[in-house]
Structure 1
């Protein structure tokens, strides 16, 4: 007994007239009568009272009508939900992100995605760059926002979606904080707070290359795994640091920010995904993330 037979029974039970019911389900009256007989035989009970003057429901028929309606509604809902899931319109999307991406990039993207796909649940996780790569490989994340450059496995794809200049962070009482037109080369001999190489090796190496290019060998006294930890350590007077300009959105007392006008390299954030595991929902999110952005971007990240 399937949905078609149930709809036939619902039609005759509601109309109590074989002619009208047959028209509703696009069957001939004999075919409809045969379907109802088949249902009764399958159940082993009489559902309809038939005589020449009228058609009615038996007590069992009234019970079955309520159950049949519920079954048809549940079947239709299951079919609709399955089709929407295939289109990526329902389900769950797991997104990893670094803290600076949460401040600079994600609010607008998440807002746009939720507006277009209201029935997709978002699982947002603050995850370090190196850990995101592992989770993407293990298919525990669908999409990641991480800092590049970054050595990546062959199954991970990257696309740069944000660039910004670097700035120099100094404790307010540091001798260099009062220097006008401060240059990177002026930092030789200073104590540095550095982003951890373990957490983002490519980004750490980029910072070191900037310093070495300007003749600075940093005295690294402390490492940080998070950008906001880094600026807090600078505020505590542990040392100076180079960081992406967006770090300024995290207001911390006792920190002076200086532009690095002579430094042309840029900090980059990329969106990442596993090329062997891209759900329909993830494809919809990537489409929104890429809208209005050029497909080819010059980057030190792995090839996309």
Structure 2
């Protein structure tokens, strides 16, 4: 039993450590992108178009002679900043409404959760696609479109925690000594919600990068000449026969980010989720 428990714990730590390292690499590349990119990602040199990967151009060049390596690195700033912005606003809105819904109950709970149920009836990417089409192209509209559906995930988690905690002894004690609803939510319920929100946020970053790339691929997100990964894949799809590297390397960058943040989220869930710790102790 002890050997089995040790294997489970080591496996969880292994996933978490790899996720931390890979995510740290992505963040560092994003921060130092202007120094790591060897060329201007938007500079066009038609005399150097369709150059295959070589020593001078590691990832080759595109149909306008732009260095793909520089564009992939600069694209990390675009993708990660959009994903972080969506996660921040989704978490802030979802946690606030979810805690109010679970703690207050009654009409507030019914109204908020009916809205959540209606939004969750639509696949996220389809809803974001429809909303982006109505609002128009651009990164700001893309952020708004994804946030309008993504906050529901955070709301359901926060509501569940608030429902379990609102009758806890320490919450009842805080209420009896005159703490307001805002104080109880901020001091006693939110600290118990934050660990699960961190887990969900880390898992969502990779997913949102995929959503953003998909919408940009369809022309609803960032617009050329922005070095967005979705835009790069969209431009490269027309040259797959004789310049496959144009779409290959942005696609690999998206896959790498999704893998890194999913591993980070899985590792954090195994570390912070008390229910999984109980399973390990029981075994």
TM-score using structure 1 length? 0.27
Of structures 1 and 2, the one with the larger relative CO (CA 8 A, separation 6+) is 2
- In terms of fraction of residues, the more helix-rich structure is 2
The structure where strand makes up a greater share of residues is 1
Q: TM-score, normalised by structure 2?
A: 0.28
